[in-house]
Amino acid sequence: MRRYTLSILFPAIHDALNAIQPRYTRWTPRAADEPRGAAASPEAAIATVAHEVLTRLGQGRTPDREAPYAAAMARVPAGPARDAGVALGRAVANAALQRRELDGYAPYSSFSVSNRPWRWRPTPTDFQRDVVPTTAPLLFTPEAATALIPPPPAFGSDIYRRDTEQVRRVGRRDQSTRTAAQTSSALFWANQVSHRGFMDAAVTLLEERRPADGLWGSARALALIAIAMDDAAVIIWQAKERYSVWRPVTAIQIGGGGVTPDPDWMPLINTPPFPEYPSGHATDCAVGAALMASFFGASTPFTYRSLGVQQIYSQRFQSFAAASHDCAQSRIWAGVHWAHTEDVSEELGAAIARQALTHLVPLVRPDAQGFAPSRSAQGRP
């Protein structure tokens, strides 16, 4: 499922529930033709929203959409409440999709190339080129988003030379000073899509720790993660084009700026085919970790499953911050990012998460954001 699908789907589910019983501010305001939701079945509304959004965005195979929808609707007794839930779900899904049609989204898959020092140029890679979003952020004005990321250090500066030598040592493919644990971490995080991984972890924890506000609390948590991850993608890619910084493999192979050239140097993993600054991995992981900490508590252990690859890897972390920092550092050990980039990107992710938490705020129950163990997690029926 594409990242942008999630940022339409989960806010729409959140809005449908809050059309039935307003507990949090909505993401998309009520449309003029939206039916009143007080008598609607929440389960029918949620199922219909998901079905409508996924179908109209063409996500997944038809049987994978139709069978779960039919099963969900079969659990809702026939009658006016189910009918009202279906009508509400369709209206909310339509409003959510129309909102995103007007947000300026347009993909592109090329970056500016330059032969000047410190400017990006294609690298040795076997990556498929990414499709990059060009649109306005959801939580920030374009100007505010730009201000979140300071310029990178100057070419040839002490920071540039220091961090390049670090990557030369720990990020090289052979004869590296990396530890076995660092190599394992670099390979683990390279094979994941963090918005899927943190959403998967959030769903698991929501099943174990029932929100005090039930479905409403779960929907808010998932909507905020999806919205913030969407903003992270937009802000990251636009900054990559704006600063157009070359990758460590280019810096080390070509040299200059006080760096001794090594034409044969290669990183542990193949370098992604787009500019270096800021780091997508570090920003995404910082966003997910900060939001998860706000929902479940900073010291909560959790399992991160790396999804979207042929084999699903799992890794246990003692806290969300530990996972975020390991994710950021792994990109240095992989040989594809500098330390200064990871530092800035972790701060960027935290700022996006803070901004997200100012949205979808409680309307009537300020304590409803808390989470408690569910009955099943406590061993009760």
- Determine the Cα–Cα distance for residues 9 and 5; give it in Å rounded to an integer: 6
95 within a domain of the structure (yes/no): yes
Answer whether residue 381 shows pLDDT above 70: no
Answer whether residue 4 shows pLDDT above 90: no
Q: Domain boundary residue among 85, 101, 117?
A: 101
Answer whether residue 79 shows pLDDT above 90: yes
Which of 130-144, 225-239, 308-322 holds the top average pLDDT? 225-239
209 within a domain of the structure (yes/no): yes
Residues 161 and 273 placed together within one structural domain of the fold: yes
Residue 327 has a pLDDT of 96
Determine the residue type at 130.
D
309 vs 250: which has the higher pLDDT: 250
E strand or H helix that includes residue 316 = strand 313-317
pLDDT band at 380 (very low <50, low <70, confident <90, very high): very low
**Looking at residues 296-316, what average pLDDT do you find?**
84
Residues 44 and 173 placed together within one structural domain of the fold: no
13 within a domain of the structure (yes/no): yes
Answer whether residue 319 shows pLDDT above 50: yes
Other CB atoms closer than 10 Å to residue 309's CB: what's the count? Answer: 11
Residues 63 and 113 placed together within one structural domain of the fold: no
**Looking at residues 262-289, what average pLDDT do you find?**
96
375 within a domain of the structure (yes/no): no
235 within a domain of the structure (yes/no): yes
377 within a domain of the structure (yes/no): no
381 within a domain of the structure (yes/no): no
Residues 29 and 133 placed together within one structural domain of the fold: no
CATH number at residue 339: 1.10.606.20
Answer whether residue 292 shows pLDDT above 50: yes
367 vs 236: which has the higher pLDDT: 236
Residues 138 and 81 placed together within one structural domain of the fold: no
Q: Has this prediction a pTM greater than 0.75?
A: yes
Which residue(s) pair with 303 in the sheet? 316
Residues 91 and 51 placed together within one structural domain of the fold: yes
- Determine the Cα–Cα distance for residues 80 and 372; give it in Å rounded to an integer: 33
For 31, the domain range is 3-101
The string of pLDDT tens digits covering residues 132-177 is 666 778 899 999 999 999 999 999 999 999 999 999 999 999 988 9
5 vs 173: which has the higher pLDDT: 173
Residue 130 has a pLDDT of 58
100 vs 187: which has the higher pLDDT: 187
Residues 114 and 192 placed together within one structural domain of the fold: yes
Burial of 231 (0-12, 13-18, 19+ CB in 10 A): buried
Q: Could you tell me where the DSSP H helices lie in the chain?
A: 3-20, 42-56, 62-74, 80-101, 142-147, 158-170, 180-190, 194-208, 214-243, 248-254, 280-296, 320-333, 339-356
Which of 52-66, 117-131, 296-310 holds the top average pLDDT? 52-66
Residues 95 and 204 placed together within one structural domain of the fold: no
Between helix 214-243 and helix 280-296 the angle, nearest 10°, is 160
Residue 288 has a pLDDT of 97
Answer whether residue 368 shows pLDDT above 50: no
Average the pLDDT over each of 6-15, 82-91, 96-105, 198-207 and give the range with the smallest value.
Answer: 96-105
Residues 73 and 196 placed together within one structural domain of the fold: no
**Residue-averaged pLDDT of the chain:** 89
Q: How many domains does the chain have?
A: 2
Q: Domain boundary residue among 101, 124, 151?
A: 101
Answer whether residue 1 shows pLDDT above 60: no
Residues 204 and 345 placed together within one structural domain of the fold: yes
DSSP 358: T
Residues 156 and 252 placed together within one structural domain of the fold: yes
The string of pLDDT tens digits covering residues 191-216 is 887 878 899 999 999 999 888 899 99
Residue 378 has a pLDDT of 32
Residues 30 and 161 placed together within one structural domain of the fold: no
274 within a domain of the structure (yes/no): yes
Q: Domain boundary residue among 67, 101, 135?
A: 101
